[in-house]
Amino acid sequence: LSMSRLSYWNSDPSDNWTLSLSKSFDIGSFRGLSAALSLSRNQYQYRTQNQVYASVTVPFGEGRQVSYSLRHDNQGATQHNISYLDFSHPDTAWGLSAASRNQGEGQSLSGNINTVTPRGNASADFTLQPGQYSSLGLNWYGSLTATAHGVALGQSVAGNEPRMMVDTDGIAGIPVSNGSGVTNRYGIAVVSAGASYLQ
């Protein structure tokens, strides 16, 4: 339970309170389920906004879960949201989320994926709102080193951090440094060389 009052020298005060409950439990073979309920009220200048929020999360398999949530307020606005998250692979996580609202934005679908590779970290995300807008984002975060034998891609290396070039005598696709880099088509990889040396 949390309560607060914000006072202003030139305006009426704002009162807020929130009551939150959460519980983890098991049902049969389903382990680690969780549920939450939140009730909140905001009062400001003779206007009162009440809101209820409820959610349940069901994990299944190894590193997978489905979540559902409902939000409703005293203005008649209701939002349903269902999402799926998969982080069962040690290097890749992805998720999908669908939402439905009876006011304003209507329906939406969004998703994202993040993966860690020897050539850097890549991610993508999208959002679709029919009749509103759509977006697509692509990102890559890593290290790019130009060498005499082509470009070598690897995990991110800070600007002042030393790097080490590895040559496998023309053999491509060889992982090095515990998978933090991989040789290019010319057998060249560039990885972090550890701590800087100062004398």
Q: Cα(95)–Cα(99) distance, rounded to whole angstroms?
A: 14
- Burial letters 81-107, b for 16+ CB under 10 A, else e: bebebbeeeeeebbbebebeeeeeeee
Return the higher-pLDDT residue of 183 and 199.
183
Q: Cα(97)–Cα(109) distance, rounded to whole angstroms?
A: 6
This prediction has a pTM of: 0.75
Locate the domains of the chain by residue range: 2-76, 144-192
Return the higher-pLDDT residue of 7 and 160.
7
pLDDT for res 112: 98
pLDDT for res 196: 63
Q: 12: pLDDT confidence band, cut at 50, 70 and 90?
A: confident
pLDDT tens-digit readout, 23-43? 999 988 888 999 999 999 988
Question: Would strands 181-182 and 175-176 be described as parallel, antiparallel, or unpaired?
Answer: antiparallel
Q: 60: pLDDT confidence band, cut at 50, 70 and 90?
A: confident
Which range is least confidently modeled, 38-42, 78-82, 164-168, 177-181? 177-181
- Token pair 């005060």 is at which residue? 13
Q: Cα(69)–Cα(99) distance, rounded to whole angstroms?
A: 9
Residue type at position 113: I
pLDDT for res 148: 81
Average of per-residue pLDDT values in the chain? 87
Q: What is the mean pLDDT of residues 46-54?
A: 90
Q: Is the pLDDT of residue 54 over 90?
A: yes
pLDDT tens-digit readout, 89-138? 989 999 999 999 887 668 899 999 999 988 889 999 999 988 888 999 99
Q: Which contiguous run of DSSP H or E holds residue 113?
A: strand 107-117
Helix/strand/coil percent split, the chain, to 5: 0, 70, 30
